[in-house]
């Protein structure tokens, strides 16, 4: 197991400021990095298209920096949430993808992300590891933890609802499933784009 390097204060400031929009809560994250404890850093990637974006590269580079300090990068392949379609920033319901489409995209995602993160030091997990075991009772129990009012706090849902545009009930499952990923892998820290803030 790789030993964790505690960054000096100058390096820590760089980690917390460079290529970062927001850290919630920042002081807690800084304290965790100073602790010397090996953190589990989670990033979920939905293979809803064949290629990663420049936005993905920014987050992956930050994770690589932390990986080089000895922290554990855990990349979640969103093979379930990709089928639903990420509603973040969407003005309409996305079409649902087939298992075959998602798996083909996941193959190209993995090849691309290994150009940034160290494959030998990355843990790759597929959502299907836990969601294939879910039954209707588990889905209802998870959904019972949130309200429609909370879901409508998401800007994209609120705008579509106010404009009388469709918001599918299945889209409400997306942030719930993404949040549960962190529980399933026992993540210490979640990473994502600004469009994922509600989900994170």
pLDDT tens digits along 8-48: 999 999 999 999 999 999 999 999 999 999 999 999 998 88
Distance of alpha carbon 99 from alpha carbon 57, whole angstroms: 25
Task: Please tell me which of 29-43, 47-61, 147-161 the model is most confident about, judged by mean pLDDT.
Answer: 29-43
What percent of the chain has pLDDT above 90?
66
Give me 92's structure tokens.
């309409």
Q: Is the link from the previous residue into 199 a cis peptide, with omega within 30 of 0? A: no
Distance of alpha carbon 105 from alpha carbon 191, whole angstroms: 21
Give me 189's structure tokens.
């820290």
pTM equals: 0.87
130 pLDDT exceeds 80?
A: yes
108 pLDDT exceeds 70?
A: yes
Indicate if the alpha-carbon torsion angle 142, 144, 149, 150 is positive or negative: negative
């Amino acid at each position: 197991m790789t030993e964790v390097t505690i960054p000096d204060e100058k390096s820590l400031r760089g980690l917390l400021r460079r290529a970062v929009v927001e850290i919630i809560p920042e002081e807690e994250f800084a304290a965790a990095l100073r602790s010397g404890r090996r953190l589990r850093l989670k990033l979920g990637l939905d293979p809803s298209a064949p290629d990663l974006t420049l936005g993905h590269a920014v987050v992956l580079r930050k994770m690589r920096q932390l990986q080089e300090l000895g922290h554990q990068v855990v990349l979640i392949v969103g093979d379930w949430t990709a089928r639903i379609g990420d509603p973040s920033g969407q003005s309409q319901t996305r079409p649902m993808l087939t298992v075959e489409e998602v798996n083909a995209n996941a193959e190209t995602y993995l090849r691309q992300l290994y150009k940034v993160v160290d494959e030998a030091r990355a843990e790759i997990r597929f959502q299907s590891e836990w969601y294939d075991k879910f039954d209707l009772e588990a889905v209802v129990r998870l959904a019972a933890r949130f309200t429609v009012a909370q879901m409508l706090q998401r800007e994209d849902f609120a705008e579509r609802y106010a404009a009388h545009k469709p918001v599918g009930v299945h889209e409400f499952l997306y942030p719930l499933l993404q949040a549960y990923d962190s529980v399933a892998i026992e993540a210490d820290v979640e990473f994502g784009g600004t469009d994922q803030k509600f989900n994170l």
